[in-house]
Amino acid sequence: MVTSKTIGNGILRALIITAGALLLLYILFLIQPVIYFLFIALIVSMIGSPIVNFLEKKLKFNHIVAVLVTMVFFILLLAGFIMMFVPLIISQSENLSLLDTGKLQNDLTELVDKLKTYFSDHNIDAENMLKESNLASKLNLNFIPNFLNAILGTLGNIGMAIGSIIFITFFFLKDKKLFTVNAKKILPEGHESKIINSFRKINHLLSRYFIGLIGQVTILFIMYLIVLLVFGVENAFIIAFITALLNIIPYIGPLIATALVAILTMLGHMDPQSQGEMLSTTLYVLIGYSVAQIIDNNVTTPLIFSNSVNSHPLEIFIVILASGFLFGVLGMIVAVPLYTIAKVVAKEFFPENPVVKVLTRGI
């Protein structure tokens, strides 16, 4: 028999659970950076796991040594990636310095003279207005040190993020088996095997996916590099690498890469003697990039998606598109990994569901 005491206890329990859930969500909101670090470190460890296995099985490295070698490889790769930007920034700064600053100054002087003439024709004493407004006293130059402090703070945050991710990745790779053993002790007994199998399959599929993604970026990099070298674009290696890396962002990335290469190609022809070739070279480069993207969209991408995560390209397109509408660019980037995780979990816990059977037939 249901009594008022039972109902009251049920309501109280529901309120406590709700309050606990809200508190947990609030805590997760406060520690968002930590969650991002863990997620990125997990991805890096998935990419590094096959490298560790190769060093252990093929080259007979000790586990710790294999992990250390893998981490050194990632650190050197990151350092090389950062150093690639330095010559590009210097080169483009030199190109911008070739602008006709004298003509720009004359245009500004002419504009000021026209404004003075306009004000005098309309009986407006512009000089007196400027004095009365006392703009000099109102001009606050505190934004300069604040801006510099913001830049230093951002660099410090990026450094801390990189250090944290490297540290977490090292232990993800080093103690992978230990995490599995401890997980078995914590997980509920009835679902222990299903959860462990899900983790194993997710790790396998996502490792293949991220390695395939690296392969896709590498193929695009080679095609972009050939195009840029053929048409003599400065800093071809760096530009090809950056624009290929943008392909990680589905659908939007190639558009950003195309716009970026057009700008950098034009900046590379700021010399007055070569400005006549600027438009033609830029057009040829854009055509070359378009051909490379057509090959990638119709050959490389379908092969990676079908072979790595066992999903149909149309299925992936719908998932990425929906994630983009709901969560923006970040949603598009993580759509495929999260969708793969959902499919694996559904396969383990609801194998008899007809929809799950159709979507997970290749897993």
pLDDT by residue (tens digit) across 146-205? 655 666 676 677 778 888 888 888 888 888 777 766 666 666 666 677 777 877 888 778
In the prediction, which pLDDT does 223 show?
92
* HEC letters along the chain: CCCHHHHHHHHHHHHHHHHHHHHHHHHHHHCHHHHHHHHHHHHHHHHHHHHHHHHHHCCCCCHHHHHHHHHHHHHHHHHHHHHHHHHHHHHHHHHHCCCCHHHHHHHHHHHHHHHHHHHHHCCCCHHHHHHHHCHHHHCCCCHHHHHHHHHHHHHHHHHHHHHHHHHHHHHHHHCHHHHHHHHHHHCCHHHHHHHHHHHHHHHHHHHHHHHHHHHHHHHHHHHHHHHHHHCCCCCHHHHHHHHHHHHHCCCHHHHHHHHHHHHHHHHCCCCCCCHHHHHHHHHHHHHHHHHHHHHHHHHHHHHHHHHHCCCCHHHHHHHHHHHHHHHHHHHHHHHHHHHHHHHHHHHHHCCCCHHHHHHCCCC
In angstroms, the CA 273 to CA 207 distance is: 50
In angstroms, the CA 193 to CA 184 distance is: 8
In the prediction, which pLDDT does 122 show?
65
DSSP characters for 318-336?
HHHHHHHHHHHHHHHHHHH
In angstroms, the CA 356 to CA 305 distance is: 18
In angstroms, the CA 238 to CA 292 distance is: 17
Q: What percent of the chain has pLDDT over 70?
A: 71
In the prediction, which pLDDT does 41 show?
85
With residues binned 3-state (H G I as helix, E B as strand, rest as coil), the percentages for the chain, rounded to 5, are 85, 0, 15
| pLDDT < 50 regions, the chain | 135-136, 139, 141
Q: Are 183 and 199 in contact (CB under 8 A)?
A: yes
In the prediction, which pLDDT does 226 show?
92
In the prediction, which pLDDT does 103 show?
57
Rounded to 10 degrees, what is the CA torsion of 333, 339, 342, 343?
-150
> What token pair was written down for 107?
């245009």
Cβ atoms < 10 Å from Cβ of 343: 22
In the prediction, which pLDDT does 224 show?
92
Burial class of 171 by CB neighbour count within 10 A (0 to 12, 13 to 18, 19+): middle
